[in-house]
């Protein structure tokens, strides 16, 4: 008998946008998140008490909430031994246990507390991550590590809290993992077979599908 992996919400993190200085200029960012106790309502666009600063890059229906595996923190503690790395450090709303970019498919549906969510895409690092960490090289390190975390769309609003179990409701039959999207974007851009499968994913945003369609066009001439 194979033991089931327990999937759990370890930390629930929220934060409103703030203005910080970066390269001598004021920048609005919502990447600063702190763990909160108790129950918080997860809504279609975000959690109560949380908001994204730049909706052209973050947020929206397909990126309502950002999840990051707690297991990755051990890697980063070794990679960045001088830094304090509390949960929420990567700007994630959900610090999870038992989920990974390899095991979660685009389109997988989960029950967390009273809410239902669907995995949509990986997180690509931007300069806001460099602001949070105070070092520009974190953007390259983050992408190269392939420890991107992933976004959820909210299918059913409801209350969530740290300690909630994460239940897999349905597995997307296309079998394209979150890790595959990152791989096609940054590492194996010529994997035509997987690119052709990726552009058919209804759960993947139009911007991603358009990007992959362009890649296919370049490869096939």
- Of 101, 46, 108, nearest to 75 (Cα)? 101
* Count of CB atoms situated within 10 Å of the CB of 158: 16
Mean pLDDT for the stretch of residues 116-124: 98
Longest dimension (CA), the chain: 59
Bridge partners, 117 (sequence order): 110, 154
Mean pLDDT for the stretch of residues 168-190: 97
Residue 211 in contact with residue 124, Cβ under 8 Å?
A: no
- Confidence class of residue 15 from pLDDT cuts 50, 70 and 90? very high
Distance CA 18, CA 193 (A): 43
Measure Cα distances from 27 to 66, 123, 124, 147, 160 in Å.
21, 20, 19, 25, 30
Distance CA 189, CA 182 (A): 10
Distance CA 10, CA 117 (A): 16
Q: For position 3, what pLDDT does the model report?
A: 52
Tokens encoding 118: 């669907």
Q: What is the mean pLDDT of the chain?
A: 94
Burial 36-47 (b: 16+ CB within 10 A, else e): beeebebeebbb
Q: Whole-prediction pTM value? A: 0.95
Task: Determine the length of the chain.
Answer: 221
Q: What percentage of the chain reaches a pLDDT higher than 70?
A: 95
- Of 126, 102, 110, nearest to 178 (Cα)? 102
Distance CA 68, CA 99 (A): 9
């Amino acid at each position: 008998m194979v033991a089931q992996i327990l999937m759990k919400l370890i930390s629930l993190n929220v934060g409103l946008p703030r203005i910080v200085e970066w390269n001598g200029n004021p920048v609005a960012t919502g990447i600063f998140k702190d763990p909160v106790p108790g129950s918080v309502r997860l809504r279609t666009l975000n959690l109560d008490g949380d908001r994204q600063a730049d909706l052209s890059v973050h947020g929206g229906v397909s990126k309502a909430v950002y999840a990051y595996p707690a297991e990755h923190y051990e890697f980063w503690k070794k990679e960045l031994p001088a830094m304090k790395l509390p949960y929420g450090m990567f700007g994630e709303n959900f610090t999870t246990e038992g989920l990974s970019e390899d095991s979660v498919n685009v389109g997988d549906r989960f029950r967390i507390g009273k809410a239902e969510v669907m995995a949509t895409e990986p997180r690509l690092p931007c300069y806001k991550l460099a602001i949070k960490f105070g070092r520009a090289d974190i953007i390259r390190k983050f992408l190269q590590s392939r420890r991107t975390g992933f976004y959820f769309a909210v299918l059913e609003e409801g209350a969530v809290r740290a300690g909630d179990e994460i239940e897999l409701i349905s597995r997307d039959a296309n079998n394209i993992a979150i890790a595959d999207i990152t791989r096609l974007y940054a590492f194996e851009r010529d994997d035509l077979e997987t690119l052709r499968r990726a552009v058919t994913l209804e759960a993947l945003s139009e911007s991603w599908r358009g990007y992959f369609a362009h890649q296919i066009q370049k490869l096939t001439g």
